[in-house]
Amino acid sequence: MQMSAIPFDTTDWSQVAPTRHAGEAGEALWRTRHVGPEGNQIRVRMVEYSAGYVSDHWCQKGHVLLVLEGELETTLADGRVFTLKPGMSYQVADGAEPHRSRTPKGAKLFIVD
């Protein structure tokens, strides 16, 4: 990710319309913005997982993720499991380590990818 040609801007996330994404169980609500020039856009999201959410795929995309509320359990393809609580984050590169998330109680996340 190269952050270039992005003018200063603010986001009122309550004004960004959510899109629904079904998981294997539960759902995710994404409030998404794309910033930067065509061909090098960065996706910035506020994501809310419902209680009982389980991702429906192994993700290979790189992210910087911060847990704002709730608790997120992320499993890597090699079997390692990480539990993130509010104020905790992770970062992973594109194609580095397939990961999959779930949350028994729900979670609110801020994600940049």
Question: What does 40-73 look like in DSSP terms, one character per residue?
Answer: S-EEEEEEEEPTTEE-SS-B-S-EEEEEEEE-EE
- 53 within 8 A of 25, measured Cβ to Cβ: yes
The confidence score (pLDDT) of residue 2 equals 72
**Tokens (6 digits) for 27:** 């759902």
Structure confidence by residue, pLDDT tens digits, 31-84: 999 999 988 899 999 999 999 999 999 999 999 999 999 999 999 999 999 999
The confidence score (pLDDT) of residue 3 equals 80
The confidence score (pLDDT) of residue 1 equals 64
Q: Distance (Å, rounded) from C-alpha 98 to C-alpha 75?
A: 9
The confidence score (pLDDT) of residue 35 equals 94
Its pTM stands at 0.93
The confidence score (pLDDT) of residue 16 equals 98
Structure confidence by residue, pLDDT tens digits, 99-113: 999 999 999 999 999
Q: Which residues pair with 48 in a beta bridge?
A: 29, 108
Class of domain 19-112: mainly beta
